[in-house]
Structure 1
């Protein structure tokens, strides 16, 4: 005989499957919108996305969903739940309590706006015309402020947004962490700038055939363990990854014919995201736990593969020959160590996704401070180009030559992703701590990289990080993987060791 508890659990899981189905369909529509959908179809497509998103939203916030959650949270019922089901209920409750406060009509308006906004951003970026994009950003900021009002302000208004991407993270904690990073990294960057041992990078800026770049990027993805039966690589204005389900994970990159490394590192970065999504445990598939536990942990995987592995000396000692063979005569005169040093050159740059590992974190701190100004101090969209330029002058000693290389360079704000940027630096910290653990637990770690045997590393990460999806919290993941909570000192140690060697400090 089926009990009331069993009926409630069955109905709840069916609702979750419906929500996941909507989410997957929307993922395909978004992917298509960002990889080649005709521009004249953007508004109609955005309306369709708005309708489907609202139906999913209504299902997620329905009275029935609230009643099912209450039944399953009952102490007697909760004791009968498996660990995964208990976690699924807890995560669904968190999302429900947040979403139920937003009127469906307001949500639909916001989804349509952000769907249209990304295409508007693409066109504005192409032209370097901020004023063309500003009306969209004004509206997105306004909607986001309405959401904060509905959700209720935490310690600050911006804290409310941070919690969406890194649960439990606060402005107070980030201020402390970023201040410590800044105090360590700025003197290191100054010492590097004064070093007489500056890498030669001139050979990176030749004309490199796009087809050959793509061939090498696909080869490296295969070496990482990317499953091409469960994923694909495409092109877009801004690289991204979309995990529809573990059997369909799509990534994009962008090819610059005058830079042989841009597309490669973009591909490895998104490939790191993809490995996470492709290797989530089978017991989570079909639930809302079948995704990364936070954007900080997700970024730790993209940054680990891109930087710790992809920018390492052992990696290039193994794969440099595979690269040079695709560009006959162009790199034959360049020793592998010169190429390795060139891919790790430290220099102030305008573009975040092309920044070196060390100054990259300063790009993130700039965006973090601007977002705090928007939501805690009331800065307006009209103010942002000047604020952006002033911050770049203060932190990096350079000023963008255009809005395309300045305030318009990132896609995130066009989708309303305020609070996301700190995840990149948190990802760097998680990645360095995970790398330190790997070096201790896999004594052959660097030998594996140097021999091109990357699959044991992927398997270690699968057991410690990937398979858990959202069934563990970020803190549970990092403690489970490394034995201790997040410790930013690992990132400083990693950067100091690496760059003091490269620049002979």
Structure 2
């Protein structure tokens, strides 16, 4: 590589590092908004976020950035794999952002910041009408942005691509159809035998400080680095990566449901492990994050479910569980804990759904989002449409909006196109799992002894370290030798449900 090209790359990377600093500031402000910032300050915080976002937007779409991209594109053949990936990611963001008028982008960011605060109040009151005007504006913005970006085959494809590069309605529909049919069949077969009722209930009040200590212990167990992160409480759990060495986890504590916090902590912990194990060589670039939201969700869903609900994992942490809540669960044996952690029964809340019916929750949201951007429904139709689909897919009646259309924060944050990545995450996770088990046949024995170092090392090498250098399709094929398929998840669920429920 000649000196001129090296100098150009250094300037390009320096510009990206500065943009990254502004982005870190916005992420910290957003984290603060969702973890207890004073309510009276929300409006001014939204204004500050709008200002910072406008600055980031201006830098990303500047003439300077355009010049860097043009010159680097002409010399792309001389670039390393990492620099080619960096060019790809920044060029996509530049081209997408350049098509949006700056004032429209800033207005959208401010709207979303306000909307998330309104969502919290609407959910508390179980009153969709509070959020409705905000959602209508967000949908209008998204439809406007789709027009700027251009429609290839389906308007929803554009939004799917924001979270999962290369994903389209045409690709996801047949995969979801196969998964839906297999899931419905299993749920029906278990239901015909009668969803099991346990003689011993785990719904017992456990002090929040004990639940918090147990959550911290779980994170330590799986390899989360508290020197580069922290655990906080929030209404809707999330993970926030401020920078490579500041990766934060939040969870939700429910007084009489310790498994709720346990599994939301493992879920967000899975996200955090990914971010903490991206190669340090990618620091200061937008490559220093997960490959896509689908791959990211594969990590959270693996640690939450495929490892976290396994008999071997529960055996390893059973002593911690009993010690964390002295005497409270003395009559709960390991097998009872395993059965409770893997209980299958249709329920209203996605984040509390069992491993089997969870994907049906995602398909409800996917179908509604697709309809919104096909413009075959409007925001005012959402509560009715939601309740109908819950009845059709889960056989349940939705008593109020808080337990229905208002249960998730995503739409108030403008995250349309995100929900399908949860099911994609399950699909990726099952495929990774099958390869992992073939390569390390005694992996569950290691888990039962409390050793999770080798599984973390396997994922760090195969998935985490690459950051965004590889596309999701490249990463899954490189790690498992095969393109994405629903077969692995269906096989995993069938084997597990057969073991537990003899169906």
Please give the range of the TM-score, normalised by the shorter of the 2 chains. over 0.9
Structure 1 length-normalised TM: 0.98
Q: CA deviation at 1:318?
A: 1.6
Q: CA deviation at 1:297?
A: 0.0
2:331 aligned residue (317, 330, 333): 333
Q: CA deviation at 1:401?
A: 1.0
Q: How many residues align?
A: 503
What is the aligned partner in structure 1 of residue 172 from structure 2? Answer: 174
Q: How much is the aligned-residue C-alpha RMSD, in angstroms?
A: 1.3
Q: Residues 350-369 of structure 1, C-alpha deviation per residue, up to 9 Å, x if partnerless?
A: 00000001100000000000
What is the aligned partner in structure 2 of residue 271 from structure 1? Answer: 269
Q: Judge conservation of contact 2:58–2:102 (CA < 8 Å) in 1.
A: yes
Q: Judge conservation of contact 1:197–1:503 (CA < 8 Å) in 2.
A: no
Cα distance in 2 for partners of 1:88, 1:307 equals 33
- Counting only pairs closer than 5 Å after superposition, residues 23-422 of structure 1 correspond to structure 2 as 23-74=23-74, 77-195=75-193, 198-200=196-198, 202-422=200-420
Cα distance in 2 for partners of 1:258, 1:356 equals 18
Cα distance in 2 for partners of 1:110, 1:201 equals 51
Cα distance change on mapping 1:87 and 1:333 into 2, 3 Å: same
Q: Judge conservation of contact 1:276–1:466 (CA < 8 Å) in 2.
A: yes
- Counting only pairs closer than 5 Å after superposition, residues 456-467 of structure 1 correspond to structure 2 as 456-467=454-465
Q: Judge conservation of contact 2:251–2:265 (CA < 8 Å) in 1.
A: yes
Secondary structure of the structure 1 residue equivalent to 2:242: strand
What is the aligned partner in structure 1 of residue 18 from structure 2? Answer: 18
Cα distance in 2 for partners of 1:489, 1:96 equals 37
Give the gaps of 5 or more residues in structure 2.
none
Give the gaps of 5 or more residues in structure 1.
none
> Where in structure 1 do 4 or more consecutive aligned residues deviate above 4 Å?
none
Cα distance in 2 for partners of 1:372, 1:131 equals 22
Cα distance in 2 for partners of 1:342, 1:172 equals 37
Q: CA deviation at 1:196?
A: 5.5
Q: CA deviation at 1:211?
A: 1.3
Q: CA deviation at 1:208?
A: 1.5
Q: CA deviation at 1:33?
A: 0.7
Secondary structure of the structure 2 residue equivalent to 1:243: strand
Q: Judge conservation of contact 1:249–1:274 (CA < 8 Å) in 2.
A: yes
Secondary structure of the structure 1 residue equivalent to 2:232: strand
Structure 2 length-normalised TM: 0.98
Q: Residues 303-325 of structure 1, C-alpha deviation per residue, up to 9 Å, x if partnerless?
A: 00000011111111121121122
The range that moved more, 42-51 or 14-23, is: 14-23
Q: Judge conservation of contact 1:199–1:342 (CA < 8 Å) in 2.
A: no
Cα distance change on mapping 1:488 and 1:175 into 2, 3 Å: same
Q: Judge conservation of contact 1:366–1:391 (CA < 8 Å) in 2.
A: yes
Q: CA deviation at 1:455?
A: 1.2
